[in-house]
Amino acid sequence: MTSTKYDVLAIGNAIFDVLVQTDEGFLAAHGMTKGGMMLIDEARAASIYRDMGPATTMSGGSAANTVVGVANLGARAAYVGKVRNDEVGGLYTHDIRAAKVAFETNAATGGPATGCSYILVTPDGERTMNTYLGAAQELTPGDIDPEQIAAASILYLEGYLWDPKSAKDAFVKAADIAHGAGRQVALTLSDSFCVDRYRDEFLDLMRKGTVDLIFANEAELHSLYQTSDFDTALKQLNKDTKLGVVTRSEKGCVVASAEGILAVPAFPIERMVDTTGAGDLFAAGFLFGLVRNAGYEKAGRLGALAAAEVIQHIGARPQVSLKELAQQNGLPV
C-alpha cells in the first residue's frame, strides 16, 4: 500500500448553517418535525429566514464538520463538496481552508446558490434542520479526483449524498477508487429520515462491502433494521458491516466489530446547549483514533470528548483545540 497524503478525506454536501434559538411553537407554526432534517426549496428557505429571530451564521455540512474536527485534532484532512462562486460560497471556502482542511473542489459558476441549512435550536438543545441543498447537489463524478481519493487512509461519506443523483454517483466512484487503493471507506447514516428514504440501498452498500465502517445513532439504527429492540439491531449491524459504531447520547457509544461488542461511556458535560454536530464531531474523534491506531476504546473516548465539546455551545464546529483537550484528558494525539 502506498503512503498517504491525508488521514481522512470526506465528501459531503457543502452547506452554510444559519442557526437560531427558538421554541416548539415556531416549529409547530412552520410544520416542522422536531429533530429531523427536511429538504426545502428556495421559496421555503426565504420564508423560514424571514420569520426567524436573530441568527448565528457559520459554515457547516455534516462531513465538513467531521473533517474540520479531524484537522483540529491534528490529523491531515481534505474535503470534497460543491459551492457556488457567490458570497456565501467564498465564506465557506475560506472557513474550511482556515481550519487547515485541503479543499480544491471547483466552485460552480452558474446554477443554484450555495446551499444553506436553517437550524432551529429549542431550549432542550435539540436541533431541527431545514436544508436548501442549492449548489451542493451539483456535485458530480467529475469532481472526484482519483489521485486525491487514493491518497487518503480513510474516505468518509455522508448519507445525505444519497439524495442528489449525481452526488450518489460521485460517492460510488470515490468508494471504488478508495478500495482499489487499499483504503477504508466509512459512511455516516446522517439521520433517521435519510435512512427511511434509502434503507435498502444503504443495506446493500454495507452487505456488498462498498462501505467498511458505519456510523449511526440509535434512531438511525432502529430505522435501518425497522426494530425497536436495540440488541437485535446491533447484532444485525455486526453481521452486515466490518465495523459499526452507534452513538447513544448520554449513554455513550457501542462499537460492533469482529472482536465483539464494546461499550464506551459518554464524556461528562456541564450544560447541553445545542446538539448540532454532535454525531459529526463524534465521528471526527473516532476516525482520528483509528488513523492513530489507538484501538476502539480510545477511539470511542476521543469521539465522546469531541462530541461533548461541540454540544456545549452553539454551532457544529469546535471552539477550542480538541488536540489540547485530548492531551488534558490523557487521550492519544
pLDDT at 3: 80
Yes or no: say if 155 and 11 are a contact pair by the CB < 8 Å rule. Answer: yes
Average pLDDT over residues 67-79: 98
H-helix or E-strand spanning residue 247: strand 243-247
DSSP state of 311: T
Average pLDDT over residues 18-42: 93
Q: Tens of pLDDT along 49-66?
A: 999 989 999 999 999 999
Instruction: Give the strand order in the sheet containing 127-132.
Output: 37-39, 127-132, 115-121, 15-21, 56-59
Candidates 3.40.640.10, 3.30.70.3270, 3.90.950.10, 3.40.1190.20; CATH matching 6-14+61-110+138-328: 3.40.1190.20
Percent of the chain whose pLDDT exceeds 90:
93
pLDDT at 141: 97
- Bridging pattern class, strands 56-59 and 15-21: antiparallel
One-letter amino acid of 309: E
User: How many angstroms separate the CA atoms of 257 and 184, rounded?
Assistant: 15
User: How many angstroms separate the CA atoms of 60 and 277, rounded?
Assistant: 9
pLDDT at 2: 65
pLDDT at 164: 86
Yes or no: say if 135 and 89 are a contact pair by the CB < 8 Å rule. Answer: yes
- Residue 313 pLDDT > 80, yes or no? yes
pLDDT at 274: 86
Domain boundaries, the chain: 6-14+61-110+138-328
Number of residues assigned to the chain = 333
- Beta pairing partners, 128: 120
Measure CA 178 to chain center.
19
DSSP-derived 3-state class of residue 69: helix
* Cell output for 49: 429566514
Average pLDDT over residues 286-296: 98
100 conformational bin, left if phi > 0, alpha if psi -120 to 50, beta if neither = left
Instruction: Give the strand order in the sheet containing 213-217.
Output: 101-103, 77-80, 6-11, 152-158, 184-188, 213-217, 243-247, 253-257, 260-264
Average pLDDT over residues 212-229: 97
Distances (CA, A) of 172 to 84, 95, 156, 167: 23, 27, 12, 9
Average pLDDT over residues 282-307: 98
Q: Tens of pLDDT along 237-283?
A: 999 999 999 999 999 999 999 999 999 999 999 999 988 899 999 99
- Residue 1 pLDDT > 70, yes or no? no
User: How many angstroms separate the CA atoms of 20 and 17, rounded?
Assistant: 10
pTM of the predicted structure, to 2 decimals: 0.95
One-letter amino acid of 215: F
DSSP-derived secondary structure for 89-109: HHHHHHHHHHTTEEE-PPPBS
Q: Tens of pLDDT along 145-194?
A: 999 999 999 999 999 999 888 999 999 999 999 999 999 999 999 989 89
User: How many angstroms separate the CA atoms of 194 and 217, rounded?
Assistant: 12
- Beta pairing partners, 78: 9, 102
pLDDT at 314: 87
* Cell output for 64: 465538513
* Cell output for 185: 471507506
pLDDT at 315: 87
- Residue 47 pLDDT > 80, yes or no? yes
